Structure 1
Amino acid sequence: MTDFHIRFGAEVAEALRTGRPVVALESTIVSHGLPRPDNLRVAREIEQAVRDAGAVPATIGMIGGELVAGLDDAQLTRLATVDGVAKLSVRDLAVAAATGADGATTVAATSAVAAAAGIGVFATGGLGGVHREAAQTFDESADLITLARTPIAVVCAGVKSILDVGATLERLETLGVSVVGYRTRRFPGFYLTDSGFDLDWSAESPEQVADMIAARDQQATHHGGLIVANPLPTDEQLDPDLHDRTLAEGLALLARDGVTGKAVTPFLLAHFHSATEGASLAVNIRIILRNADLAARIAVAAAQRRTGPAA
């Protein structure tokens, strides 16, 4: 009889046992989000950014049908370099496990696995959301409904700017997902510092975010996620004119080629990489490294809040 439980990497298991801060990381950025060979290098840099800020990285993925919280370097290399790695959302986890698949977890799946593993902070680049033309296609990322029912703090640069940002914020409100800007009252636009939408709440420090997490847990009135929207500085964003032109071109190509569903995001990200001659890739990497650093500092603050500062 096969056991389908979550397996922990040794370092992550020890950190959780002793109350050290841990940050969950997704693996789709490794297998589907970044081109080879940059993907493996950047995956290692993301983990190092978490370590440098005082926390333990727990990259989550599936190896041969087994969910792993805390991939080791050989497992990370496998997901970064082999062909046929499945892109796993929450609905895919059980099927992929039963069929012995190698898989990379999306934001939704990573959030669900992290919460089940007892990891409360997660760093990613940008969330999925409501797609353009969703009124006709009903195309909405599983990230949203998963965050509505998963108690995890997700540090991100907003939602991917290829999506309908306004509609996504409306859905997050309806679903009861808390959204705070990190040192801003404007929602970031992934490649762009400002998506053009206001936020009701902001946090000024990792400690304040940790207080928000603690208040949610103590009140026990809300069991969903907390989005910490961390914008790029304006001098690090993609040039807005280049962004808008590239997005318009990409949307036209989507319609021409009939690309739909899970293929939309990687198609558009690949188009951005090609059309901007790598500029969007550089921005994407800056985003995830900054978010990994902030998530680690939040995890450290949350751990200190639970146990008191280390001697």
Structure 2
Amino acid sequence: MSAAPLVDAYDLVVFDLDGVIFLIDRPIPGAVEAVARLGGDGRAFAYATNNASRRSADVADLLTGMGVPATADQVLTSAGAAATLLAERLPAGAPVLVVGAPALHAEVRAVGLVPVTGAEEAPVAVVQGYGPRVGWAELAEASLAVRAGALWVATNTDRTLPSPRGPLPGNGSLVAVLRTALGREPDVVVGKPEPALFTAAAHRYGAARPLVVGDRLDTDIEGAVRAGLDSLLVLTGVSGPADLIAAPPGRRPTYVAADLGGLFAPADALRVPGKEPAGGGWRVTDDGVGWRLDGAGAPLDALRALCAAAWSGGPARRVTGVSAQARAALKELGLD
């Protein structure tokens, strides 16, 4: 097994933010140190977030206030990407109904379009992004505008946002309101799992081999798969061990780690599914009723072994720990 750190194989690290670097306004333990170490080693890194409630400069200020190195140029947001897409499709000065936070209004204005708030202003497009104060009145105006023929662009469709108190409704939940009212999907979804943010980051840095780091299988990891990029799932946000075991092929990461410290661990120790070491470790057997986990080792290695069993073709099954170490590992992973 090579002892070289995982990050050595890549020329750019692209981080998701919510659930990877911070939870709402609190840095995740180890995140500050991990990003600072990358910067100290002279490695290139960027941030790609589906959260459309802040502009790039505001995100950079938030990060630096937490002690995480960041500049506005390093931050790619779904709000900025959505505004750019609209500017490419619409004439300058076109009215766009904005449903979201002030940051999304500012991004639309910055590309030469005119943000409006009512369907009576004849918007030619509706752009919908997360905003903690979005309510029925804004959604009603958007519904009327789309029914009248406006282009409907969603910055992203994350169903939830991670928080210290647990998952909260995300923009996908708000999009679902209009989807139900209108009986159709948005015309365009800009953010992850669409690969645009990742490809834009690679282009910006001239990177040939980026690594995507995220906490969500349905956005970060699926987006990396669609972009043809390797990815690292960290277990500090939305997707947990049970989600990983049950992940379909299009949502399977290259590596899994407990947190961002995994960037500096050997790649073979994080690759998923994991290979059983020659000297022993974890063993997963099928007794016809469920899986039996036996052996000893790190809980993360047990998770990798369970992924190997699940991803070999059969469906995920109930798992029982045989040894005391196995039962402890399953408890730590939340699989007991």
TM-score for both structures, normalised by structure 1: 0.31
TM-score for both structures, normalised by structure 2: 0.29
Greater RCO (Cα-Cα under 8 Å, separation 6 or more): 1
Could you say which structure has the higher helix fraction?
A: 1
